[in-house]
Amino acid sequence: MKTKLTDLLNIKYPILQGAMAWVSEANLASAVSNSGGAGIIATGGRTVSWTKEQIHLAKSLTDKPFGVNIVLMDKNKDDILDLICHEKVAFVTLGAGNPVPYFDILKKAGILAIPVVPSLKLAKRVEENGADALIIEGMEAGGHIGKLTTLALMTQVIPEIKIPVIAAGGFSEGRGLAAALVMGASGIQVGTRFYASKECTAHINAKDAIINAGDTDTEITGYLRGHAVRGLKNKMTEKYIQLEKDNAPYEQLHDLIVGTSKKAPVDGDIEWGLVQAGQSLSVIKSIESCEQIVLEMILQAENAIKNVTMKSNTN
């Protein structure tokens, strides 16, 4: 399945693995890359030494392209960028800040720059300033989200952009990949489905929570304060939303949510930690290998496209 994205990254299938804080590390990234997609190591909240260790581990586990995500609000982002440029990974995804100042640095190191953007305005800006591709992430995604849906972003961004566009937010199986390709995207980014994979090192409690979740089992915290994060409903999200409605001071909200992104995937606390997950949950029925997940997505996408073609030919 060739697209502009597979050509750009030299991968077999147009599937990126999402950068999930405290979840996306070398084992998961290398497994996705070995399966024909492109894995990503997430550095959010991590140290430079941890990032170096994970890049080296990924290189020992795969000879396929993989990337690293930089959270631009992190204080050590420049140090992590220096490390990445020295290690010469294939590509970098950038989010939660202005990515433009980093494009030239990455290009000089021979690394592809792929920013995450939430709107058409920002998509045009990063393209004009030299991004190699871009990710449009809809609010169906897990973790930090914007205000537009994936469909709305694909509808408005893809026709205006010439570089490869990767759609993210709500993609858990192959019909979504087919839909994105038909819309003109060059590929998709998948997070939650790979969270519930055998190679993911996250705590089994978090993986089981995803498997057992239904279509309405996510909640958005921080929406009223402009810092929206989607995750599975639990005791923490219920308390947070009630505090928001009661106009609780920022300090109280901060104390409740600080560290929750680590508590669930690392410690296994799925009631007071946050399992950051997207909305397309009911189709995730079991913990499978990354290879099974990727191959099933590709088969589903190919069948979906064939069915559309067959129906159009009979009409």
Q: Is the pLDDT of residue 315 over 70?
A: no
Indicate the range of 71-80, 153-162, 204-213, 273-282 predicted with least confidence. Answer: 71-80
Q: What is the pTM of this model?
A: 0.93
CB 201 within 8 A of CB 287: no
Q: Which of 7, 55, 3 is nearest to 29 (CA)?
A: 55
Q: For 220-250, what is each residue's pLDDT tens digit?
A: 998 777 678 999 999 999 999 999 888 888 8
Q: What pLDDT does 222 receive?
A: 86
CATH, domain range 4-201+285-314: 3.20.20.70
Neighbour count for residue 75 (Cβ, 10 Å): 6
Neighbour count for residue 71 (Cβ, 10 Å): 21
Angle at 236 between CA 136 and CA 287, to 5 degrees: 60
Angle at 139 between CA 277 and CA 27, to 5 degrees: 40
Residue with tokens 């996250």: 202
Q: What share of the chain is helix, strand, coil (3-state, %, to 5)?
A: 45, 15, 40
Q: For 253-267, what is each residue's pLDDT tens digit?
A: 888 988 888 999 999
Domain range list for the chain: 4-201+285-314, 212-267
